[in-house]
Structure 1
């Protein structure tokens, strides 16, 4: 009989889903790994009650449900804030705010009770801004401007990507690398760039020339 177990082996020993074992250890129902990183001793595993471990798992909840739940928790109106994307779940897991229970790393399954705790936080908008980056389309909506205007903001160097993600657009014929931007940096742009008439920029009709183009020209003339 083995003396130490990883998560899969421990779940097999108790005949419970591996997601149940992960939640039991994350919630404190089972002690932290005591036989090395990610490994538990036989004594710890055998002391865990299979029924208690199995009963503690309610779910798990898929990324789609989590994204919808957090979007609803933001309330209305959500001016300039896009719906919470599926990818947010992976970022929240990576930040330790939700517990990975299974599925894809980018779109994981998590425990619904932990989601409910996060959804009740009064600082949920700030929490999402801090931990969930935005793609260009999401960033433009977060700022309340057209995508073309956000692209111009990027060209001006007012904001730079904090990372990238590869997305497989099968109908476009392959993988596309998409830049990701800090939601906090996006939200702070009107504060750090007060010379811009953000209200005028936000009400521009489609097809109208952006005032940012003139601003870009003056920046180039000054050699900035």
Structure 2
């Protein structure tokens, strides 16, 4: 289990972080044992896995350029919130921080957007404009 997943478990309220260290976590062993006994642990870990933009695009089977047309760019497909940031190797000896998404949030993109012809999108050749570019951005939510 990765640190990313453990942090998601803290966010879900499955674990309590007892550490004051922002770079690490500390959990009571009995609480960890309780979580480890859950029958749905494998599903929880799978849902809370970390995906960078390249991995998310690959999981959706679309080009990275198409993935970039979804939220936080022009927001044409609604919000896909980044839950963290993490380093990736950009060049040998050099890393950059990228947005990280949960596997579950990426998996929810396709069912959440039946208006998109995903098979057609997947057939667009490199260098061609994304069909998502013609979608109008969703309006920003109005604060209550």
Is 1:211 matched with 2:131?
yes
Matches within 5 A, 1:167-186: 167=88, 169=90, 171=92, 174-186=94-106
Aligned counterpart, 1:199: 119
The separation in 1 between residues aligned to 2:2 and 2:94, in whole angstroms, is 24
**Distance apart, 1:127 and its partner CA:** 3.4
The separation in 1 between residues aligned to 2:45 and 2:124, in whole angstroms, is 28
- Name the Cα RMSD after superposition: 3.3
Is 1:150 matched with 2:71?
no
Aligned counterpart, 2:53: 136
TM-score normalized by the length of structure 2: 0.60
**Distance apart, 1:165 and its partner CA:** 1.0
Q: Which has the higher helix share?
A: 1
Larger-gyration structure (1/2)? 1
Please say which of residues 140-149 and 127-136 is displaced more in the overlay.
Answer: 127-136
Aligned counterpart, 1:166: 87
**Distance apart, 1:198 and its partner CA:** 1.0
Matches within 5 A, 1:1-224: 89-92=2-5, 95=9, 124=42, 126-154=43-71, 155-157=73-75, 158=78, 159-167=80-88, 169=90, 171=92, 174-215=94-135, 218-219=136-137
Count of paired positions? 111
Q: Which runs of 4+ in 1 moved over 6 A?
A: none
Aligned counterpart, 2:28: none
**Distance apart, 1:209 and its partner CA:** 1.5
| Alpha-carbon spacing, 1:147–1:90, altered in 2? closer, same or farther (3 Å) | same
TM-score normalized by the length of structure 1: 0.41
- Consecutive unaligned residues in structure 2, runs of 5 or more: 11-23, 25-35
Structure 2 residue matching 1:153: 3-state secondary structure: coil
The separation in 1 between residues aligned to 2:61 and 2:89, in whole angstroms, is 27
Q: Which has the higher contact order (CA 8 A, sep 6+)?
A: 2
- Consecutive unaligned residues in structure 1, runs of 5 or more: 1-87, 97-104, 106-116
